[in-house]
């Protein structure tokens, strides 16, 4: 393996000397060594391609893994911290994570179902910890309504790829599990995102879709 004792000098000679390229050691260990020293995946690939010795399968595999890793950390895939803070403050949830592609949040909530009781006027309800995952790509906003104190709840109705599940299903009673299986749609095409009382659903509607 070539020792890089003086990185700036040797790196220049390495990439401008065809003879040195041809003598490049393209073993798995050598590739990892070059990458740790600051060479890019593309530069190491060119070195090995210029080498007169065939690149071993293990080294080729290493390059493929490093190339895939480089794509995974693309800055375009990272989320702005301001956006994370914004959705935490506006969407009603206990915990929330957001990426450019998805928004996922968990909430301990109760869902009402069935007909109102003729005497009390109340409906039955079942409670659990529900996770909602929303694909932001291609998401459509169908309707947005601001809340009006006790007279009207806010509404943010969207359409797209949505997944819902009860994450604490195993800890619920048999009756509650059966109820959730009947009333909770795991892949609704439309969904009303509940926002916090002091937030503006109009602003959420603008920033959510991609």
**Residue-level pLDDT at 91:** 97
For residue 164, is pLDDT > 80?
yes
Token pair in block for residue 68: 């895939």
7 pLDDT tier (thresholds 50, 70, 90): very low
Q: Name residue, tokens 């803070």.
A: 85
**Residue-level pLDDT at 66:** 52
Burial profile 108-132: b = 16 or more Cβ within 10 angstroms, e = fewer: ebebeeeeeeeeeeeeeebebbbbb
- Max mean pLDDT among 23-37, 118-132, 157-171 falls in 157-171
Chain segment 111-128, per-residue pLDDT in tens: 999 988 888 878 999 999
Round to whole Å and give the CA distance between 39 and 141.
Answer: 45
Q: Name residue, tokens 């359409």.
A: 159
Mean pLDDT of 82-107: 95
More confident residue, 74 or 43: 43
Phi, psi of 129 (to 5 degrees): -95, 115
Token pair in block for residue 130: 């529900």
Question: For all residues of the chain together, what is the average pLDDT?
Answer: 78
Mean pLDDT of 138-143: 97
Domain regions of the chain by residue span: 7-73, 77-207
The helix/strand count (H/E) of the chain reads as: 8, 7
Name the residue among 158, 111, 106 with its Cα closest to residue 133. Answer: 106
For residue 87, is pLDDT > 70?
yes
- Answering whether pTM is above 0.85, one says no
Round to whole Å and give the CA distance between 26 and 17.
Answer: 16
49 pLDDT tier (thresholds 50, 70, 90): low
**Residue-level pLDDT at 190:** 98
**Residue-level pLDDT at 8:** 46
25 pLDDT tier (thresholds 50, 70, 90): low
For residue 103, is pLDDT > 80?
yes
Phi, psi of 62 (to 5 degrees): -60, -45
Helix ranges, the chain (H):
7-16, 18-22, 28-36, 41-50, 57-72, 81-90, 174-183, 201-207
């Amino acid at each position: 393996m070539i020792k890089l004792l003086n990185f700036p000098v040797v790196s220049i000679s390495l990439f401008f000397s065809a003879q040195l390229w041809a003598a490049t050691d393209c073993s798995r260990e050598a590739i990892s060594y070059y990458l740790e020293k600051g060479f890019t995946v593309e530069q190491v690939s060119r070195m090995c391609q210029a080498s007169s010795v065939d690149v071993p399968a293990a080294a080729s595999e290493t390059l493929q893994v490093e190339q895939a890793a480089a794509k995974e950390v693309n800055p375009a895939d990272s989320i702005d911290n301001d956006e994370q803070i914004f959705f935490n403050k506006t969407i009603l949830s206990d915990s929330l994570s957001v990426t450019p592609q998805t928004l996922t949040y968990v909430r301990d909530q109760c869902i009402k179902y069935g007909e109102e009781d003729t005497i009390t006027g109340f409906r039955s309800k079942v409670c659990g910890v529900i996770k909602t995952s929303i694909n932001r790509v291609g998401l459509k906003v169908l309707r947005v309504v601001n809340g009006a104190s006790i007279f009207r709840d806010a509404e943010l109705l969207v359409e797209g790829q949505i997944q819902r599940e009860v994450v604490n299903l195993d800890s619920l009673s048999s009756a509650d599990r059966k109820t959730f299986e009947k009333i909770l749609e795991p892949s609704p095409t439309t969904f009303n995102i509940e926002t916090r009382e002091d937030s503006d659903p109009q602003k959420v509607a603008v920033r959510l879709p991609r």
